[in-house]
A and B are shown apart, each in its own frame.
Chain A
Amino acid sequence: MTAMRRLNAAGLLMLAARLIVGLVLISSSIHKISDPVTFLKLVNQYGLVPPDWPVMLNLIAVVVPWLEMVGGIALLAGIGLSGVGAVTFLMLAGFTAAIIMRTPGEMARQGKGFFDIAFSCGCAGSAPEIIWWKLVKNTGLIVLALLITISRSRFLTLSALIAWLRRGSAAPDASAASTKADEDPDLAGLRAR
């Protein structure tokens, strides 16, 4: 626990979370952007949007991939981390809930148990995915998105770089570290010790 606190205080945990979630989001979005019809069909298979609301379904197919792409870039660059993290958290929670809701129907249709079930979830590409493993991965991503949302660390972010450029003194890492020390109670505590 202490090691995790030290990692978090140094900004490394947040940096790892940003890299993992950011890269996953970007890689997930590329296929959806390049082939909007396939993604539209996969979204439609969930049956979450009433058939009388085609505009809503089309908007989801057009906007969600770009939420992932822009969100992934923002996380890698370190821009608007709290807001992007919160939206990412909500998206991932929504996707995961949709997969969970669809799973019993697919189990009945395919006649397979929970640990054998696989279907195209529209997550990354159109190939069928093992669902229990997908849910485990999504749970991990949700935890990381939550960490990004609540963490105050700005280690190796564009925000810290801009702040350093504005001040025109000291190295960006040192600046970021001092900023963190001011803002992050964990780091302040560690330094005091």
Chain B
Amino acid sequence: MSRITQMMLEATVFVAAAGAIGLGYNSLRSDGLDLGRNYFPHSRVAMSPPSTEQPKPAGPAAGVTSEPAPEGDPAGSEPGGPEGRKAADKLASLGLQGISLEDAYQYFQLRDSTILLVDARSDDAYREGHIPGAVQFYPYYPDKYIEDIRLFADIAQVVIVYCGGGDCEDSISAAFYLTTEMPDPIPAERVFVFEGGMTEWKEAGYPLVAGETPEGDLP
């Protein structure tokens, strides 16, 4: 057998063995990937040419009656200059809208049952610290979290979704799932993506709780 033939044979056996082990392990683990699922459906939508006429969503304060609504239109806030505008354009192409730190904090202070905060980060990140009252929804395992969301989604008039901030797109994935893929989806005009996320929230010194439940459960 020539060296080239032997090398090709070894490479084929190696790739086949690693592939078989990888696929086998993935099918056995509880948090394995669903090979047929598109985990980033919003990527495809976001790559489509933007519509010249975006539907203007209704203000988030509609239906919130127990407390005065925060002033201004959260969807109109585009902090961060060109980057902020780019982010807002991306959200708009997905039929979503952004919300600034200040507006998110004002809604948080209302502590109203019609306002739902959704933490789109992983279990570890959520456990380490989240916004008090925020319900976890990690969009890559929707079946695991959807029941918790369902409990609040029907009465929520404003749904604010956040993740880590910075490059994190889990909040967009979660918001896209809640407004399009979920059975009986939440109307998009009620869902706001807080792109500053935990980074901005922490920097502002706003409250956090640790634990596995919305109000925190660790000593």
Contacts and interface: CB of A to CB of B under 8 A. Distances in A.
Is B one of A's binding partners?
A: yes
A179 interface: no
Given A36-B33, A51-B44, A63 B8 contact: no
At the interface, is chain B mostly helix, strand, loop or mixed?
helix
B6 interface: yes
A58 B17 CA distance: 18
B14 A36 contact: no
A174 interface: no
A58 B37 contact: yes
A44 B10 contact: no
B23 A87 contact: no
Contacts of A33: 25
A14 interface: no
At the interface, is chain A mostly helix, strand, loop or mixed?
helix
Interface in B155-191: 167, 169-170
Interface in B107-152: 122, 140-141
Contacts of B10: 80-84, 86
B36 interface: yes
Interface string B14-48: 11011101110110000111111111110110010
A84 B6 CA distance: 11
Contact of B33 (A61, A81, A83): A61
Contacts of A84: 10-11, 14
| Interface band, chain B | 35 or more
A40 interface: yes
B15 A87 contact: yes
A55 interface: yes
Contact of B38 (A54, A61, A70, A149): A54
B76 to A, nearest CB: 24
26 contacts: A37-B122, A37-B140, A38-B122, A40-B140, A41-B170, A51-B41, A52-B44, A54-B36, A54-B37, A54-B38, A54-B39, A55-B36, A57-B39, A58-B36, A66-B19, A67-B18, A67-B19, A74-B14, A82-B3, A82-B7, A83-B6, A83-B11, A83-B12, A83-B14, A86-B10, A87-B14
Interface of B: 3, 6-15, 17-19, 21-23, 25-26, 31-41, 43-44, 47, 122, 140-141, 167, 169-170
